[in-house]
Amino acid sequence: MSWHILGVGALGSLWATRLARAGVPVRIILRSSQRLADYQRAGGLTLSEVGESSLHAIPAELPEANTSIQRLLVACKAYDAEAAIARLAPRLANNCEILLLQNGLGSQQAIAERWPQARCIFVSSTEGAYREGPLQVVFAGRGQNWLGDPNGGSAPVWLDELDRAGIPQIWSTDIVARLWRKLALNCAINPLTVLHDCRNGDLLQYREQLAALCQELGTLLEANGQAPAATDLQDEVLRVIEATAANYSSMYQDVRLGRRTEIAYLLGHACRSADALGVAVPLLHDLHDRLRKRLSLRGLPTD
């Protein structure tokens, strides 16, 4: 059975090239005839890691191709994922699996509700990749992938294909808790790096602000039934800041490069969820407002 990969950017290319290299059947789905022609001209996807580059001529197709899709890995940004799947929805087999690699929360739930015939597997990834060119990906940071089904059920048999491909994986029975925890870390760190225009490590000057945000985020996690994900949140935020002190956060980099951020699925999701549950989070709302103003000033979407 073939994997189909939708969203052939940084992370999608990283998965596609490693699967193909291990001999696992994989096809990539490109969004337009123009991109398909560019891909065919390039002769494949290029993966660079530890200074070595390799070209992978992976079969490619358009969303409108007519073969059925049994297993789909969606590696678009959170704001593109649902519309991207909608374009190929007629091809989804009844009992298909959709792996969702998006950061934050909200997009995964919308997709799972819209295509209830699919088994949606949520993925939380700490691997790092970036695009050097349209069809060239650099594997920038080793990490882990946690996969899980929010509705429970057993681990899929194809996890061994990921092992064969060298894609690190752990089957998680609490994937939503893991995504909430990551969302909380991202909400505490990323917006402040944009607003203070700084590297992660510089946030250590704002410990009180971080502590107050972590307090609200912890309350929000508890209200969402995610009390374990709130445990020692502030300590972990400080640990992550120290471990990544020299880095710029992903949101900072998006803003710097004039790219749309995933704010709606991070801070936006936190604020919407607090409002729905009647939890007061004035600091998160204030941070959200200030971040949206900053994005707007830079001519970027605020959602």
Q: What are the DSSP E strand ranges found in the chain?
A: 3-6, 26-29, 45-49, 52-56, 60-61, 69-74, 92-100, 119-125, 128-133, 136-141, 145-148, 170-171
Binding flags for ligand NAD, 131-150, as an x/- string (CB under 6 A): x-------------------
| Residue 20 near which of ligand KPL, ligand NAD, none (CB within 5-8 Å, type-dependent) | none
Among 105, 138, 189, 287, binds ligand KPL (CB under 6 A): 189
- Residue 84 in the binding site for ligand NAD (CB under 6 A): yes
Active site residue 182: yes
Among 5, 58, 76, 281, binds ligand NAD (CB under 6 A): 76
- How many Å apart are CA 113 and CA 184, to the nearest integer? 24
- How many Å apart are CA 244 and CA 237, to the nearest integer? 11
Among 60, 262, 264, 291, binds ligand NAD (CB under 6 A): 262
Work out whether strand 26-29 and strand 3-6 pair parallel, antiparallel, or are unpaired.
parallel
Least Cβ distance, residue 52 to ligand KPL (angstroms): 26
Phi, psi of 126 (to 5 degrees): -115, 15
- How many Å apart are CA 227 and CA 61, to the nearest integer? 44
Among the residue ranges 11-19, 71-79, 127-135, 244-252, the one whose residues contact ligand KPL (CB under 6 A): 244-252
| Residue 75 near which of ligand NAD, ligand KPL, none (CB within 5-8 Å, type-dependent) | ligand NAD
Among 13, 169, 200, 224, binds ligand KPL (CB under 6 A): 200
Least Cβ distance, residue 21 to ligand KPL (angstroms): 26
Query: 46 - beta bridge partners?
Result: 55, 136
Tokens found for residue 6: 């939708």
Catalytic residues: 182
